Amino acid sequence: MHRFAAAPTLRWGPPSRVLARSSAARWKTASRSCLPFPSSFANDGHYRLFCSRPSNVQIIESVSEMRQARKQMGEKCVGFVPTMGALHEGHLSLAREASSECDEVVVSIFVNPTQFAPGEDLDKYPRDLDGDIKKLSDVEKVTTVFFPSVQEMYPQDGADVFVGVDNIEDRLAEGQCRPGHFRGVATVVTKLFNIVQPTKAYFGQKDGGQCILIRKVVEELKIDTKIQVVPTKREEDGLAMSSRNMYLSDEERPHAAVLFKALKSMEQEYSEGLHSAGHLLDVGKSVISEDNKTSLLYLDVSYADNGKPLENDEIELAIAP
């Protein structure tokens, strides 16, 4: 399979029950519709008001209690959807796919600092835990949200151990453009797989480089989890759904769709028998250059199983923005 890649409200539920804290990491339904939650829930030093429709989703904050919850699931098929929160329809499609194939579904919400390069958007990355829980409560079989703190996932005096992925990082344009990003992703996903022990884990095709990386991590580290890649969810104009889309201004938003236009042009050329990687890249770059409001960060054509540059035309084509 070939891969194309390019970088580019709080709802109120019925007043029947809410989530209320019952231990350091578990939540249960209560009889009132609204109540303030402690700062440890908000993770930002503030109380917040949280109202919810009836939900059986438990929120777990500690590694030890997540492991205990997994033990209680026993031999069930457990699906896992790792996220950084600010959930949208793309994330929910992963959860629904997991629900259709598994007995229980665990979703993690963790903004992983080690995958952000200096100067990137770690501090301003969108966070909406209340909204995320409300959305997940509508997805069948989502029973658990793992919501660890940075201190729970990494030593306070700094981490000494990371999962090295230098070869993949060097192969992919995204890795070259974002030094250390793939190492951070590989490290946190390995930790999460170790903690949750999922039968299957679900990722969006949108993050093509990440999918290549995680498949290699699972293969080479002998992790007993099956990786499921789910088709990209898009807006009406083709833009891939992303939590970062909210950064776009009203003026910028229409121009973002040029990424999908470029990819479709490349796909069309491929379908007509023009399989040269150089030609496909030129076509994509040409389409993007026609939009004077858009600057290209990177455009990559590679094999989806290992990230190596495209050298022949023997494998089915896939598109990831």
Enumerate the active-site residues. Answer: 91
Residue at token pair 């099956």? 226
Which run of H or E residues covers position 50?
Answer: strand 48-51
Which pair of structure tokens corresponds to residue 57?
A: 């989703």
> Structure tokens of 123?
């501090």
Exposure string of 172-211, with b = 16+ CB inside 10 Å and e = fewer, is bbbbeebebbbbbbbbbbbbbbebbbbbbbbbbbbbbbbb
H or E element that contains 317: strand 317-319
- Element housing 118 (H / E): none
Q: How many CB atoms lie within 10 A of CB 262?
A: 26
Q: What angle do CA 235, 237, 242 make, to 5 degrees?
A: 35
The tokens of 314 are what? 């023997």
Torsion sign, CA atoms 112, 210, 172, 161: positive
Determine the angle formed by the axes of helices 129-136 and 89-101, rounding to 10 degrees.
40
2 phi and psi angles, rounded to 5 deg: -90, 160
Q: What is the DSSP letter of 38?
A: P
